[in-house]
Amino acid sequence: MPEPDSGPLSGRRAEAARNDARILDAAREVFLADPDAPVSTVAGRAGVGIGALYRRYPSKQDLLRALAADGLARYIADLEAALSTDAPPWDAYVACLHRVVEGGGQALAQRLAGTFVPTPELRRMAEQATSLADTLLDRVRRSGDLRDDVSGADIVLLLETVMLVDLPGADRGAALRHRYLTLLLQALHNPVEGPLPGAPAQQADLVARWRGRSAG
């Protein structure tokens, strides 16, 4: 027999989950535009009281960590979907990168890099994402469809550049991001016209960005 208060508790949990989703969605929009924005801006965008936000996230660092975890979880899901499909490796890779651009997590990571101290769990998730991305990239390399003078870190940085493209009107910005991703993918696809100048970016270059200013 269910507890008499199980219904109300479920209702409160559902409302808390909805509030949390609104807060994270609002934080994603606010901090993508301005990583230094105060949490009061997030609360206003989410339509929740500042007290409700602080009960869930006692500091801006806590909110940024939750936002990073949410973005990493989405990125991991996109990579796992690409690795589980029966589509040709290049087609799976292209579809995955379009999903990543749609989600915007990489652009947010660039904006937030160095603004908070990652937790051990975030580091674990980042390592998992890197491992999955490397596996997917290796699969594409073996297919012969990817030029062999670019690194995974090169592609991460290029993706972030694409995802920072924005214009008034969400639809226009999204359309241009996918347009420029398509141009990028054409540049990455074999055959190529010639070698690239300089050395490829490395994972150490990506990690180094997280050593910087901290959130207040």
Count of structural domains, the chain: 2
Is residue 131 a part of any domain in this protein?
Answer: yes
Please tell me whether residue 80 adopts helix, strand or coil conformation. helix
40 and 9 within one domain: yes
83 and 135 within one domain: yes
Range of the domain at 84: 67-208
pLDDT at 164: 80
Kindly indicate the confidence band of residue 180, based on its pLDDT and cuts at 50, 70 and 90. Answer: very high
Which is higher by pLDDT, 97 or 7? 97
Is residue 201 a part of any domain in this protein?
Answer: yes
75 and 51 within one domain: no
Distances in whole angstroms, Cα of residue 110 to Cα of each of 25, 55, 107, 207: 17, 27, 5, 11
pTM, 2 dp = 0.79
Distances in whole angstroms, Cα of residue 88 to Cα of each of 19, 30, 132, 133, 186: 40, 37, 17, 16, 16
6 and 72 within one domain: no
149 and 83 within one domain: yes
106 and 162 within one domain: yes
128 and 77 within one domain: yes
**Which of 18-22, 190-194, 202-206 is predicted least confidently?**
190-194
Kindly indicate the confidence band of residue 2, based on its pLDDT and cuts at 50, 70 and 90. Answer: low
- Reported as a single tens digit per residue, the pLDDT across 11-36 is 878 888 888 999 999 998 898 888 88
Kindly indicate the confidence band of residue 216, based on its pLDDT and cuts at 50, 70 and 90. Answer: very low
Is residue 9 a part of any domain in this protein?
Answer: yes
- Reported as a single tens digit per residue, the pLDDT across 126-179 is 899 999 999 999 999 999 999 989 999 999 889 888 988 877 776 888 889 899
Is residue 216 a part of any domain in this protein?
Answer: no
pLDDT at 171: 82
Is residue 213 a part of any domain in this protein?
Answer: no
Query: How high is the mean pLDDT of the chain?
Result: 86
Is residue 169 a part of any domain in this protein?
Answer: yes
199 and 119 within one domain: yes
